[in-house]
Copies of this chain bind each other. A is one copy, B any other.
Amino acid sequence: MNKVTQIARARNGEITPQIAAVAKKEMVDPEKLRIAVAEGRVVIPANVNHEALDPIGIGRMLKTKINANIGNSSLSSCPQQELDKLKTALRYGADTVMDLSTGANITNIRQTIIGNSPAPIGTVPVYECLARVDSANDLTPELILQVIREQAEEGVDYITIHSGLLREHVPMAKKRKLRIVSRGGSIIAKWTQVHQKENPFFSHFDQILEICAEHDVTLSLGDGMRPGCLADASDEAQFAELKVLGDLVRRARAAGVQAMVEGPGHIPLHEIEMNMKREQELCDDAPFYILGPVVIDCAPGYDHITSAIGAALGAYHGAAMLCYVTPKEHLGLPNAEDVRNGVIAYKIAAHAADVGMQRPEARKRDDLISEARADFDWEKQFELALDPDRARQLRQEAIDEKNMDDPGWEPPEGEGKDHYCTMCGPDFCSMRISKEL
Binding site for B on A (CB under 8 A): 73-78, 102-103, 127, 130, 136, 170, 173-174, 177-183, 185-187, 189-190, 193, 228-231, 268-270, 295-302, 304-306, 308-309, 312-313, 316, 327-333, 335, 344-345, 347-349, 351-353, 355-358, 363, 365-367, 369-371, 373-374, 381-382, 384-387, 390-391, 393-395, 397-399, 401-402, 405-406, 409, 421-431, 433-437
Given contacts A190-B436, A366-B297, whether A348 and B428 have CB atoms under 8 Å apart is no
Distance between Cα atoms of A300 and B378 in the complex (Å)? 11
Given contacts A230-B366, A428-B102, A428-B127, whether A405 and B76 have CB atoms under 8 Å apart is yes
Distance between Cα atoms of A306 and B329 in the complex (Å)? 20
Nearest CB on B from A418, distance (A):
11
Nearest CB on B from A52, distance (A):
28
Nearest CB on B from A394, distance (A):
5
Distance between Cα atoms of A318 and B75 in the complex (Å)? 46
Question: Cβ of B394 and Cβ of A331 under 8 Å apart?
Answer: yes
Given contacts A301-B393, A366-B297, A385-B301, whether A75 and B428 have CB atoms under 8 Å apart is no
Chain B residues, Cβ within 8 Å of A229: 366-367, 370, 373
CB-nearest residue of chain B to A347: B299
Given contacts A363-B230, A373-B178, whether A399 and B332 have CB atoms under 8 Å apart is yes
Question: Cβ of A75 and Cβ of B332 under 8 Å apart?
Answer: no
Given contacts A179-B434, A186-B430, A370-B177, whether A423 and B269 have CB atoms under 8 Å apart is no
Give 7 CB contacts A-B under 8 Å.
Answer: A270-B356, A300-B391, A308-B308, A309-B349, A331-B421, A331-B423, A335-B397
Chain B residues, Cβ within 8 Å of A193: 437
Nearest CB on B from A289, distance (A):
19
Question: Cβ of B183 and Cβ of A352 under 8 Å apart?
Answer: no
Chain B residues, Cβ within 8 Å of A73: 422-425, 428
Distance between Cα atoms of A229 and B103 in the complex (Å)? 47
Distance between Cα atoms of A353 and B136 in the complex (Å)? 41
Nearest CB on B from A330, distance (A):
7
Nearest CB on B from A312, distance (A):
5
Chain B residues, Cβ within 8 Å of A365: 297-298
Nearest CB on B from A170, distance (A):
6
Task: Known pairs A170-B437, A178-B370, A299-B351; list 19 more (Cβ under 8 Å).
Answer: A73-B423, A76-B405, A102-B424, A178-B434, A183-B428, A185-B430, A187-B430, A230-B355, A270-B316, A270-B356, A295-B356, A296-B352, A298-B366, A299-B386, A301-B387, A305-B348, A327-B394, A331-B423, A332-B423
Nearest CB on B from A136, distance (A):
7
Question: Cβ of A298 and Cβ of B393 under 8 Å apart?
Answer: no
Question: Cβ of B74 and Cβ of A366 under 8 Å apart?
Answer: no
Nearest CB on B from A234, distance (A):
13
Question: Cβ of B369 and Cβ of A179 under 8 Å apart?
Answer: no
Nearest CB on B from A428, distance (A):
5
Question: Cβ of B189 and Cβ of A437 under 8 Å apart?
Answer: yes
Given contacts A230-B366, A301-B390, A370-B229, whether A296 and B333 have CB atoms under 8 Å apart is no
Chain B residues, Cβ within 8 Å of A328: 394, 397-398, 423
Out of B179, B296, B363, name the residue touching A437 (CB < 8 Å). B179
Chain B residues, Cβ within 8 Å of A304: 305
Distance between Cα atoms of A178 and B376 in the complex (Å)? 11
Question: Cβ of B312 and Cβ of A269 under 8 Å apart?
Answer: yes
CB-nearest residue of chain B to A177: B370
Q: Most chain-B CB neighbours within 10 Å: which of A74, A127, A300, A409?
A: A300
CB-nearest residue of chain B to A180: B434
Nearest CB on B from A109, distance (A):
14
Distance between Cα atoms of A348 and B299 in the complex (Å)? 7
Question: Cβ of A437 and Cβ of B330 under 8 Å apart?
Answer: no
